Copies of this chain bind each other. A is one copy, B any other.
Amino acid sequence: MQPLEKVSERPVSQPEKNTKVYVEIVRQLREMIYKDELKPGDKIPSERELSERLNAGRSSVREALRALELLGLIETRRGEGTFIRDFRGNQLVQLLSTFILQDDKAKQDVIETKSMIEVDCLYLAAEKVQQEEIERLKVWIDEHNFEDEEFFKTIAELADNHLFYRIWYILNDYYNALNLKVSPSEKEDYQKLVDSLATKRGDLILERYRMLRKMSTS
């Protein structure tokens, strides 16, 4: 034990900022995750240890952790610990949408944006995908009954762009939260769309996408 000196201890290491402690802790956590290269599933230090290491009260640490939990970035299991979470939309979008999206314009924006992001993902997938993967995808379409979002999730993955994937994922959650769930189209339309990827022709892909979505070809 250390001698209990009562030196003037500043909360956390931060030069006289107005930033709240819990925000600072969020920042530190992000840094920690980055520096230690923590991946989804990894464990982060316990609340008590963080409280000590960051020189803050446990309640402040908890405020930060709870916020991150609600964001879906971490996961806590009583008796075990706190873990980095594999990102998923979780309740967050649900939460936000019930709070936010009464606005009709916002709703329209979601629809519009999702559609365009999907096309972007299709373009990227067309550039990057191997013929072999296209074949596999076609077989998958044939052999499974799937939701529309499963298909585009696959496309977003094939696009091999983490940012686009995240963006699409979020938009899709919004979509669902708005009760705009897309009903699956005909398998034939999916097949045609996938075929168009092989051609790597942007205009054709766009046309097939619009066909699938039954949009006008404006």
Contact = CB atoms under 8 A, between A and B. Distances in A.
B109 A8 contact: no
Interface string A98-110: 1111110110011
Interface stretch (A144-152, A156-164, A189-197): A156-164
Quickly give the copy total for this chain.
Answer: 2
Interface in A43-92: 59, 62-64, 66-71, 73, 87-88, 90-92
A16 to B, nearest CB: 15
Chain A facing B: main interface SS: helix
A216 to B, nearest CB: 12
Contact of A100 (B6, B69, B162): B162
Interchain residue pairs A-B with the least CB separation, the first 9: A67-B70, A63-B66, A67-B67, A113-B163, A109-B163, A116-B120, A109-B161, A66-B67, A109-B162
Given A71-B95, A93-B170, A103-B162, 20 more contacts: A4-B98, A6-B177, A8-B91, A34-B98, A63-B66, A66-B66, A67-B69, A70-B70, A71-B71, A92-B92, A92-B93, A93-B166, A101-B163, A106-B162, A109-B164, A113-B164, A116-B123, A117-B120, A202-B206, A203-B203
A177 to B, nearest CB: 8
